[in-house]
Amino acid sequence: MDNDAPISIAVFGLGHVGLTTALGFSDLGWNVIGVESDLAKMKLIQDGQVPFNEYGISDLLAKNLHSGRFSVTADIKEAVCNANILIMCVGTPQDTDGTADISQLQNLARKIGQNITSHKIVVQKSTAPVNTAAKLKEILLSNIQNSKGSNDELVDIVVIPEFLREGNALHDFFNPHRIVIGLDNFDLKDMLGCIYKPLLVKMGKNESEILIYTDISSAEISKHTANAFLATKISFVNMIADLCTKVGADVEDVARSIGMDPRIGSDFLKPGIGFGGSCLPKDLAAFIQVGKINSIDFSFLEEVNKINELRISNYINQVINVLGDLKEKTLGVWGLSFKPGTDDIRDSPAIRIVSELIKLKANLRVHDPYAITAFKEFIGVSDRIYYAESPSDATVGVNAILVLTDWVQYKEEDFKVIRNYVNDPLIFDGRNLFDPDLLTNEGFQYYGIGR
């Protein structure tokens, strides 16, 4: 790449990660072209509308469309011709055996390759198994047409994994704990460091405090390792929660006691009905397959997954042990999304529990601040479900309240009032959201996780 050429970035795939990345770089002052092949989505974004919920992103879209630094297209050729850094943010969904399906990345690499006529840095940001970047480089090179001289010199592949949390994606983009850059051509360090320079200035940090340069495989493994480790912490604390239930201890006290040791850390030690969402379960499954492919014993991670799977039946059994047969019982459900702050119900433990309860012929009064529309689409028509307008509406006449997502607004409910709505004052707090003493004082029977 001509080192004096102005930097211009193209981001392919404008989902949560792609749009956040595109707008983040644009806001840092770079010219960014967003490429979205779904025409309806592309037009929405072009018109300043965001096709998913993500805190703060609508305002940033409006600002950067207005500045002219961000534009949107469906035309891959236009983006490849006009940008020198090409960031791939397309999906890598889970295959039936848990393997990550990298076909969207492969297809995109083919199309990008067909349009390359000058040197490009191609960044793999989508989460993918180790060795994916090497495969993509082969595809890119073998699809370059009409090039004079060696194709090898026209493409450098780089891996920059994303560590963005849904609902906090913009915050995480602008306040990263680290930026991992995996590359095999270390001459690119200046150019890649340069695109993050405005961010480092904003954060008041030196390059060495945030940027980590690694080889390509290490960068790919870093992402899977990060999510597998977070999943491990959650399953670990949930395993301890099972012990606490058995012996009458309080897992919240145990978690606090160990979390204050900085070697352990208090984050991701929240017990409950388990981890879900579009990343942790999928990345854990894909990483287990990476272990298998490389003949490494990753059975440890299989246990992490197994402990998480068991959360669903453990919770339902806890309810059945108290209420008996759930047939025709009425249950108030608080929360459907996989975590608070999002309407995303993908792989949500709440949804798995609700689906089981319907199979058991319970009647449900469900509430979620954001996720009702997504849930209706998922579940279809069911005469067993009443869509409550408020958390308290979900408790009218119920035999128990089930807390499945730790939305902070549920903590603001007045249980003196709720006590008059419910038929039976029972609460199964699947996220340990509430203070058991507070609810007991209001006349409720409280059942938490591991306490």
Part in contact with ligand UDX (CB under 6 A); list of ranges 21-29, 73-81, 193-201, 265-273: 265-273
Which residues have C-beta within 8 Å of that of residue 410, sequence separation ≥ 6?
Answer: 334, 335, 391, 403, 433
Candidates 52, 213, 268, 298: give the one binding ligand UDX (CB under 6 A).
268
Residues 6 or more apart whose Cβ sits within 8 Å of residue 120: 1, 80, 83, 84, 85, 86, 112, 154, 155, 156
Question: Active-site positions?
Answer: 279
| 61: its two tokens | 């879209």
Count of residues interacting with ligand UDX (CB under 6 A): 19
Q: Is 162 an interacting residue with respect to ligand UDX (CB under 6 A)?
A: yes
User: Which of 30, 287, 315, 338 is the binder for ligand UDX (CB under 6 A)?
Assistant: 338
Does the protein bind ligand UDX through residue 164 (CB under 6 A)?
yes
Nearer to ligand UDX, 260 or 417 (CB): 260
Q: Out of 21, 94, 227, 392, which residue is the one contacting ligand UDX (CB under 6 A)? A: 227
Q: What is d(CA 89, CA 82) in angstroms, rounded to the nearest whole number?
A: 18
Closest C-alpha among 80, 125, 83 to residue 104 = 125
Query: Shortest gap between Cβ of 280 and ligand UDX (angstroms)?
Result: 5
Is 378 near ligand UDX (CB under 6 A)?
A: no
**E strands, 80-224, where?**
85-88, 120-124, 155-159, 179-183, 211-214
Smaller CB separation from ligand UDX, 265 or 324: 265
Any contact of residue 165 with ligand UDX (CB under 6 A)?
yes
Structure token digits, residue 412: 């603001």
With contacts defined by CB under 6 A, name the span among 7-15, 245-253, 267-275, 324-332 that binds ligand UDX: 267-275
Closest contact distance (angstroms) between CB of 426 and ligand UDX is 23
* Radius of gyration for the chain, computed over Cα atoms and rounded to the nearest angstrom: 24
What is the closest distance, in whole angstroms, from the C-beta atom of residue 348 to ligand UDX in the complex?
A: 7
Confirm or reject binding of residue 234 to ligand UDX (CB under 6 A). yes
Instruction: Please say whether the beta carbons of 332 and 425 come within 8 A.
Output: no
Query: Which residues touch 68 (CB under 8 Å, ≥6 apart)?
Result: none
Residue 174 interacting with ligand UDX (CB under 6 A): no
Does position 277 interact with ligand UDX (CB under 6 A)? The reply is yes
Distance between CA atoms of residues 37 and 206, nearest Å? 37
Which stretches of 265-357 are assigned E, i.e. beta strand? 330-334
Nearer to ligand UDX, 404 or 427 (CB): 404
Would you tell me which residues interact with ligand UDX (CB under 6 A)?
Answer: 162-166, 227, 230, 234, 268-270, 272, 275-277, 279-280, 338-339
